[in-house]
């Protein structure tokens, strides 16, 4: 199927290919554009490997581009900043509560930068490079100390928990089998 990404003059068309899990299947995909014709061989495998994205780079076209490297860097930074704050765009500032304690070993690569809520949801802000690492699991800690599942999602760089909680935990089992954890406690709800 086809999808479109971007706005105005910057719309790009994507082609989505849904793979089959049957072994040893092979076919071709022909893509015609106004500049080029592409022939792509598609092969199915059962070992779990796949290519999730392909793209093409044309250095000669980049040389003709009027954009300087500095302009491209600035646009990339602007895009990343916009994307970083997208989950927060409709939150009234007057509702924000930053009174959370974060405890645990700060040496873990996924130690949160800050935690806050908007009186409805809790936002756990992670470091910008968190996507380079395995993400920890989040659970709340019940009144008797037991872990309880809660609805949350990860929207870089935030874990967004769909309700307020007294105490929660981010945890991950490291390569040696030891559980590393960071506890998060709402100081207003103690």
Residue pLDDT, tens place only, 14-35: 777 766 666 677 888 888 777 7
pLDDT digits 0-9 by tens, 119-170: 999 999 998 888 888 899 999 999 999 999 999 998 888 899 999 999 999 9
The answer to whether 25 and 6 are in contact (CB under 8 A) is no
The pTM of the whole model exceeds 0.85: no
- Domain at 88-189: CATH architecture: Sandwich (2.60)
Helix (H, G, I), strand (E, B) or coil at 147: strand
Where along the chain do the CATH 2.60.40.2500 domains lie? Answer: 88-189
Six token digits for residue 105: 């070993």
What's the start-to-end Cα distance of the chain, in Å? 51
Interatomic CA distance for residues 23 and 46, integer angstroms: 6
The answer to whether 109 and 133 are in contact (CB under 8 A) is yes
Interatomic CA distance for residues 112 and 103, integer angstroms: 10
Is the pLDDT confidence value at 59 over 70?
Answer: no
- List the one residue out of 150, 147, 155 whose CA is nearest residue 123: 155
Mean pLDDT (the chain) is: 79
């Amino acid at each position: 199927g086809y999808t479109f990404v971007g706005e105005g003059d910057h719309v790009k068309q994507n082609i989505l290919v849904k793979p089959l899990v049957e072994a040893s299947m092979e076919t071709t995909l022909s893509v015609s554009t106004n500049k080029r014709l592409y022939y792509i061989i598609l092969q199915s495998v059962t070992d779990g490997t796949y290519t999730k994205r392909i793209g093409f780079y044309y250095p000669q076209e980049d040389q003709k581009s009027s954009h300087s490297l500095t302009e491209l860097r600035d646009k990339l930074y602007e895009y990343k900043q916009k994307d970083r704050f997208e989950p927060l765009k409709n939150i009234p500032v007057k509702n924000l509560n930053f009174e959370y304690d974060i405890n645990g070993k700060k040496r873990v690569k996924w130690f949160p930068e800050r935690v806050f809520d908007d009186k409805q949801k809790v936002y756990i802000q992670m470091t910008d490079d968190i996507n380079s690492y395995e993400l920890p699991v989040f659970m709340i800690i019940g009144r008797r100390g037991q872990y309880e599942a809660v609805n949350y999602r990860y929207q870089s760089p935030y874990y967004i928990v769909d309700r307020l909680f007294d105490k929660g935990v981010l945890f991950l089992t490291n390569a040696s089998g030891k559980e590393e954890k960071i506890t998060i406690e709402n100081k207003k709800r103690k």
